[in-house]
Structure 1
Amino acid sequence: MNKDAPSLARRLTRRLTIIAAAVVVLNIAIVGIYYGSDQRELENEALIHEIERLQVSMEGTSIPPDADLRSLYADHPAAYAFAVVDRGGAVLEATNAELIPPFALDVYADDWVIRPGTAASSLRIAGRELSERTDGVRIVFVMASDPADLMRAAFLREFYRHVALPVLPMALVLIIASAVFLRRGLAPVAVAARWARSIKPGTDVPPPSIDNAPAEVADLVDATQRALNRLDQALASEKRNAAEAAHALRTPVAVLLARLDALPPGETTDRLRSDLLTLSRTVQQVLAASRTEAVDVPQDAAIDLSEVAETVVAGLAPFAHEKDVDLALSLPEVPVLANADAEGVEVALSNLVENAILHGGPGSVEITVGPAPAICVRDHGPGVSLSATTELFKPFWRGPDAVPGGAGLGLAIVDRLQRAQGGRIVVQAPVDGGCAFILTFQNPKT
């Protein structure tokens, strides 16, 4: 599984975000086309908005000299003008009065906009009678051109009111709510994935604890459980057949080895004995391989790795002496506890030490326990290429310079045993030559 791949919830949320963004962009385009094409409406909006600004800034019957909006008229005297007029038509205040046509001062209405002259004229005039006042004061605003982009500001206000305020928050709420509901809706899928990851080959398939799962997820889990049960039965049958065959071969091989002692010594007898010993080791490895998946380590199990290492070294000492190899065992003063299966560790370590004796050549094999829950087996032979480490643990794989007679099962069995116990096997190539295999284990639960 690619751990960097985004989750289904993240993918769906991302797609929903893209859809929401597309809706927002579409709204922007529609609003832009609609309001951008209605030039007259934009002009009306700009004129009325400026009158509202003047009305808010008024103090009594005039605009204060220090009002911020006066900069518009000071910076653009040929473009904008305003006047404050009383009920009798008298001008109480005016700025850039030369732009204001006289007839505009005589118009009485609540709100009005006119465009005098020909169609080519750019003059636009708006007025408002301040209804909340009793003195009949009116404001007249004139725009001859628009260097300050009042119309663009009007367009942006319309955009804000019709897109930013209603659409963007709605899209944001939709994305957040959808992400939450998607995560909750897909929670049974995550539970099913954890259930599937908890299943180990060779063990009973536990029932999934998934409540209120959708019909599709429940059906998938049920089908997976049935498939796993069938696979487990097939695996059990395969292991049983392999174990029975290996077990049945042990007696004939032992009988043959015993009968060899009755034969006269010689080269042929020695070769037969060597071949039978290789066959015996292969039978033992096949029997061990059939048991690897059945290793079940309780969480509170704790074994002393030093005791297992002593047992293995004592058992293989005669074999090492025969191959002219010295076994050196290094143990710490305190027990090295690990959460592992004693028989599984013994089989794994035996395979590593036997491999080191066979492939390390004459010299010494060093077995070091601890101080962490780990065992290192080091030889001083030709070593191994680290580029071949992925091939080392494949069943029946043997290197080009491997000693004749092996079956290529030893390291594969060690790897399977380690994984079954929650541990690992690491290969190292020391700088001074040789090869080191390190068995690592989990700390026992306290």
Structure 2
Amino acid sequence: MSSRQPTLAKNLTYRLTWILLFAIVINVIVVGIYYSSDRESLEREAIEKQLSLLTKAFDDTDLNIRSQAKTLFRSHPQGYAFALLDHQGNLLDAENEALIPQQALHTDLFAQHWQTRLTTPEGVTLLMSQPVELPSGTARLIFAMHNDPGHLILRALASEFLTHIWIPILPVAVMMIGANHFMIRRGLRPVRHAANWARTIQPGIPAPPIEEENLPAEIDDLVHSTQRTLERLNIALLAEQRRGAEIAHALRTPIAVLTARLALLPAGDNTEKLCTDLASLARTVHQVLACSKADALDISSESRCELNQIATRITANLAPFAYERGVTLSLRPHTNPVIVRATQEGVELALVNLVENAVLHSGTQIIEITVGPGATLSVRDEGRGIPTESFHHVFDAFWRGEEAAEGGSGLGLAIVQRLQLAQKGSVTLSTSPKGGAEFTLFYSTENDARK
């Protein structure tokens, strides 16, 4: 049995999610290109962040920058530097002071915020100065960055992404995915109702009314078209069933008359052959009636029957039929009642056809009928068996094996399969331990229905 495919709601949600992710990726690329092109703004943002960290790390007691704020400068002594000067130009604290040009330390632009770029053979040095209000008075903080070995500019770009893309877009994306999934499920609810309604349809039974009202036009048209089609099919099926039953009933009377007249003929080989042929014809008529019953079998959700009782009754009824042909029927009931979800008539028809088929065509002397294990009925013989290559043909209507006995119609096993399918069961064929054939009928139980 193939695995269950994802629902339409899941497929649509997955596709919308991928479209949304694609839109986010495109947005990230566009924003990345935009911010990367404005390098001066990224440089200013990266330096201003470091100046802010240094300002917050000022120690009023020692009038210098706390050591934990100097990790960047000590990790990259050739890349970053800072200097803190008081309002008289005296150096209060510094790290890697050699990276800062002397003219920047002694500029007259003490109280102004300025930024400059110096290009040297060794690379580019960025300088920024800003006034700082300290408890002891106004000071000046100078920051220098040479070639950015600590990737401060890249961190500033990542911060822009976080601030302007991920933080505002991700919550919106999650809400959109959730809203889309909810709206898709709500929009497809009529489709689910129509699918559930379609699962309740059975051949030969009028389609039940659909509970959902105000269906979309497309679904409503599909439901009504299905109902009209089903009505036409049911009419055709009923006519076919009635025709087969009428023909079989019409043949039963002349067969009964012929049987009575043959009984008046003197005994002899010809009379015996005629009786055999007439018995075969009577059985064929019986199977045609069984076909009609299989097609018209009414299986309701409340149908229940007990397999031990059915097996006992059928064994007793068919024992004389088997005895006349030199076959012994053996029954192995289950120790506990076996209640299955099926109709008594359907189970009896299937079991009768299996036993009659074994009696007439297996060439065995013993047929064993077993109830269980589980919700199963088995008919096992010790005859010549069925070739493995023919297993997939035995349930075809009118198919008969090369070594099949004369007089059969090839309908018995096909009827069994149709009965099982009508009752949501199954039938299997295997080789019995003693070389014959073993047919097993499988049924569902209450526990199966709850799963």
Confirm or deny a common fold (TM above 0.5).
Answer: yes
More moved, 199-208 vs 431-440: 431-440
Name the CA shift for 1:79/1:440 in 2 (closer, same or farther; >3 Å).
Answer: closer
Q: Which of these residues, 362, 365, 385, is aligned with residue 363 of structure 1?
A: 365
Q: Which of these residues, 370, 383, 386, is aligned with residue 385 of structure 2?
A: 383
Structure 1 residue 273: Cα displacement = 2.5
| Counterpart position of 2:216 | 214
Q: 1:287 and 1:321 mapped to 2: Cα distance?
A: 25
Q: 1:395 and 1:139 mapped to 2: Cα distance?
A: 99
Q: 1:205 and 1:166 mapped to 2: Cα distance?
A: 52
Q: 1:354 and 1:110 mapped to 2: Cα distance?
A: 111
Structure 1 residue 138: Cα displacement = 2.7
| Counterpart position of 1:176 | 178
What are the equivalent positions in structure 2 for 1:180-191 lying under 5 Å apart?
Answer: 180-191=182-193
The one-letter amino acid of 1:234's match is A
Name the CA shift for 1:210/1:132 in 2 (closer, same or farther; >3 Å).
Answer: farther
Asked if residue 72 in structure 1 is aligned to residue 49 in structure 2, the reply is: no
Structure 1 residue 141: Cα displacement = 0.5
| Counterpart position of 1:431 | 433
Q: Which of these residues, 383, 398, 401, is aligned with residue 399 of structure 1?
A: 401
The one-letter amino acid of 1:411's match is L
| Counterpart position of 1:167 | 169
| Counterpart position of 1:313 | 315
| Counterpart position of 1:128 | 130
| Counterpart position of 1:101 | 101
Structure 1 residues not aligned, in runs of 5+: none
Native 8 Å contact 1:302 1:444 kept in 2: no
| Counterpart position of 1:200 | 202
Structure 1 residue 313: Cα displacement = 2.5
| Counterpart position of 2:250 | 248
Q: 1:110 and 1:134 mapped to 2: Cα distance?
A: 18
| Counterpart position of 1:115 | 117
Q: 2:225 and 2:437 mapped to 1: Cα distance?
A: 46
What are the equivalent positions in structure 2 for 1:183-332 lying under 5 Å apart?
Answer: 183-332=185-334
Q: 2:137 and 2:101 mapped to 1: Cα distance?
A: 23
The one-letter amino acid of 2:73's match is Y
The one-letter amino acid of 2:235's match is Q
| Counterpart position of 2:92 | 92
| Counterpart position of 1:52 | 52
Structure 1 residue 350: Cα displacement = 0.7
| Counterpart position of 1:21 | 21
Native 8 Å contact 1:110 1:130 kept in 2: no
What are the equivalent positions in structure 2 for 1:35-50 lying under 5 Å apart?
Answer: 35-50=35-50
Q: 2:66 and 2:185 mapped to 1: Cα distance?
A: 59
What are the equivalent positions in structure 2 for 1:142-153 lying under 5 Å apart?
Answer: 142-153=144-155
| Counterpart position of 2:419 | 417
Structure 1 residue 144: Cα displacement = 1.8
Native 8 Å contact 2:79 2:148 kept in 1: yes
Q: 2:334 and 2:101 mapped to 1: Cα distance?
A: 107
Q: 2:112 and 2:406 mapped to 1: Cα distance?
A: 109
The one-letter amino acid of 1:324's match is G
Structure 2 residues not aligned, in runs of 5+: none
Structure 1 residue 133: Cα displacement = 6.5
Q: 1:58 and 1:70 mapped to 2: Cα distance?
A: 11
The one-letter amino acid of 2:264's match is A
| Counterpart position of 2:9 | 9
Q: 1:431 and 1:333 mapped to 2: Cα distance?
A: 23
Name the CA shift for 1:178/1:205 in 2 (closer, same or farther; >3 Å).
Answer: same
Q: Percent identity?
A: 44
Native 8 Å contact 1:239 1:290 kept in 2: yes
Structure 1 residue 86: Cα displacement = 2.6
Structure 1 residue 383: Cα displacement = 2.1
Structure 1 residue 213: Cα displacement = 3.3
Tell me the SS of whatever aligns to 2:124.
coil
Q: 1:325 and 1:442 mapped to 2: Cα distance?
A: 31
The one-letter amino acid of 1:78's match is Q
Structure 1 residue 70: Cα displacement = 1.2
Query: How large is the RMSD of aligned CA atoms in angstroms?
Result: 2.7
Q: 1:268 and 1:387 mapped to 2: Cα distance?
A: 38
Q: 2:422 and 2:114 mapped to 1: Cα distance?
A: 87
Structure 1 residue 365: Cα displacement = 0.7
TM-score by length of 2: 0.89
More moved, 343-352 vs 30-39: 30-39
More moved, 345-354 vs 410-419: 410-419
More moved, 48-57 vs 423-432: 423-432
The one-letter amino acid of 1:76's match is H
Structure 1 residue 82: Cα displacement = 0.6
Q: 2:174 and 2:261 mapped to 1: Cα distance?
A: 85
Q: 2:183 and 2:53 mapped to 1: Cα distance?
A: 46
Structure 1 residue 110: Cα displacement = 6.0
| Counterpart position of 2:347 | 345
Q: 1:87 and 1:165 mapped to 2: Cα distance?
A: 41
CA displacement 1:296-322 (0-9 Å, x = unmatched): 344444434333323322332333123
Name the CA shift for 1:118/1:417 in 2 (closer, same or farther; >3 Å).
Answer: same
Structure 1 residue 252: Cα displacement = 1.9
Native 8 Å contact 1:303 1:340 kept in 2: yes
Structure 1 residue 142: Cα displacement = 0.6
Q: 1:357 and 1:56 mapped to 2: Cα distance?
A: 101
TM-score by length of 1: 0.90
Tell me the SS of whatever aligns to 1:392.
coil
